[in-house]
């Protein structure tokens, strides 16, 4: 049976002190969630990863928001896998978030290069896929998702894919207050699982955790996670305050 996994993506928010206070406030709820079979993680900025790693409870998963595929070199402003590996208990990295694709021109090919490098280092991707509003309105959602899955997962091992998290985030719902209905979200997540099965077999596909992301809030998270192919959520704004994140988590019990 797949676990339920909730990750908070902080994006470019929270100073180190704010991150520290957040983690200290959250630690007890993280333990409660684990007792209910739910895993919780956060993705702070690079600047806060070390302090969060030192002060978090053991049960809280820790992710970076991005990584460069090269080992080292003249890549100003970038962070390598080796640098992330120095952060104790950091296990996950968000790859291909729509904001990276939109603002920094990241393609599924680039995401694949990053995940190929991550496999060698045993870092787990939270691989984001999703369509824009125009693509959604043109009924191109599954065409777009298919490309992102097939190109993004190209040449990865089945063992590595089994460990991955796939996050379906319709771009038109991120930070807009608009939500994909639970029916739409389930349909796309089911499609994603089927595409993984075509590439790696049904046994692998059945093990992959698939999250929904896009204006996930305390009052709607449970309806998404009751869907058969939705195993968790990638949460943005509702993860920035400990109080709202705690409410979101506790609403799943």
Residue tagged active-site, from 119, 131, 169, 195: 169
Set 14, 97, 106, 119: catalytic member: 97
How many C-beta neighbours within 10 Å does residue 154 have?
A: 15
Instruction: Decide if 69 is catalytic.
Output: no
CA distance 199 to 242: 39
Does 150 participate in catalysis according to the annotation?
Answer: no
- Antiparallel, parallel or unpaired: β 4-9 and 209-213: unpaired
25: left (phi over 0), alpha (psi -120 to 50) or beta: alpha
Q: Which residues are annotated as catalytic?
A: 97, 169
């Amino acid at each position: 049976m797949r676990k339920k996994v909730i990750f908070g993506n902080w994006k470019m928010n929270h100073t180190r002190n704010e991150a520290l206070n957040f983690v200290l406030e959250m630690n007890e709820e993280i333990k409660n969630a684990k007792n209910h079979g739910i895993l919780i993680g956060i993705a702070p900025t690079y600047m806060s990863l070390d302090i969060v790693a030192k002060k978090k409870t053991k049960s809280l998963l820790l992710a970076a928001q991005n990584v460069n595929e090269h080992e080292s070199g003249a890549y100003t402003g970038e962070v390598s896998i080796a640098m992330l590996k120095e952060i104790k208990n950091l296990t996950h990295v968000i790859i291909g978030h729509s904001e990276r694709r939109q603002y920094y021109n990241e393609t599924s090919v680039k995401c694949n290069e990053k995940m190929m490098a991550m496999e060698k280092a045993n870092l787990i991707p939270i691989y984001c896929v999703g369509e824009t509003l125009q693509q959604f309105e043109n009924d191109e959602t599954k065409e777009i998702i298919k490309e992102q899955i097939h190109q993004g997962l190209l040449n990865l091992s089945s063992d590595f894919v089994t460990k991955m998290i796939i996050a379906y985030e319709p771009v038109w719902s991120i930070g807009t207050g608009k939500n994909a209905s639970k029916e739409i979200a389930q349909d796309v997540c089911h499609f994603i699982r089927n595409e993984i099965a075509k590439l790696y077999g049904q046994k692998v596909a059945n093990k992959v955790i698939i999250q929904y992301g896009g204006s996930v809030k305390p009052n709607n998270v449970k309806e998404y996670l009751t869907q058969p192919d939705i195993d968790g959520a990638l949460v943005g704004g509702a993860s920035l305050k400990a109080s709202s994140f705690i409410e979101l988590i506790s609403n799943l019990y």
